[in-house]
Amino acid sequence: MKIIGELNCIGLCLSLSDFAPYIGLLIVVSIALLAAKQMRARPKNRLFTFVSAQVVALLAILATFYIMQCSEMLTVYLYSSYVVISTILIFGVLRFYDRILVRRLDAKPVDGIMDWVQEFVDALTSASVYYYDSAVPKAFAAGRSIFVSVGLLEALDDDELKAVLAHEAWHIRNNSRTPFLKQLSGYG
């Protein structure tokens, strides 16, 4: 109920302010940027558009806060909490995502079943190779680890597996020097 009352108060204050059209424009621009994000083809552009929409929305909230000159606006605290939590998730979880996947997939080091795989990857990059129980042939890189399914190990011969591992090692080698937001967007 407090949020509805607060929104009514914000609406009343804005309707009496000369800055209401500008704040309305900021809100419209933020919504338009969020819609444009979905139309962008490249992940880098989608990420830039999303961050731009967040910045414009923050400007609208700060302008509203300034106009109202009040210190007990719940929406500002909620949005600030959202910014802090999403920043922690974006920058914190990505550092430990591969460890989370090891537990989630019940993955095990591949050197327990194949001797040469870890040595091959070590020659390309510093990454741990894990296998997990799935009949679906699949390989992917996350953090500083490479994951391969049992189905993939059974379906490929050694040369084909080397090609897949080299591809995943390339991802790790190139994504390790990029910002976390770039990794999050899938660009690179």
What's the DSSP call for residue 136? S
User: How many whole angstroms separate alpha carbon 36 and alpha carbon 55?
Assistant: 15
Q: How far apart are the first and last CA of the chain?
A: 45
Homologous superfamily (CATH) of 98-185 is Metalloproteases ("zincins"), catalytic domain (3.30.2010.10)
Residues ≥6 apart with Cβ < 8 Å to 98: 128, 142, 143, 144, 145
* Helix pair angle (20-39, 2-15), 10° resolution: 120
What's the DSSP call for residue 71? S
Q: What is the mean pLDDT of the chain?
A: 80
**Tens of pLDDT along 84-122?**
777 776 666 666 778 888 999 999 999 889 989 999 999
Task: Provide the pLDDT for residue 95.
Answer: 67
Residue 157 has pLDDT above 70, yes or no: yes
CB atoms within 10 A of CB 41: 6
Task: Provide the pLDDT for residue 178.
Answer: 46
User: How many whole angstroms separate alpha carbon 91 and alpha carbon 88?
Assistant: 5
Exposed, middle or buried by CB within 10 Å (0-12, 13-18, 19+), for 30? Answer: buried
User: Which one has a higher pLDDT value, 38 or 114?
Assistant: 114
Domain boundaries, the chain: 2-72, 98-185
Exposed, middle or buried by CB within 10 Å (0-12, 13-18, 19+), for 141? Answer: buried
User: How many whole angstroms separate alpha carbon 172 and alpha carbon 166?
Assistant: 10
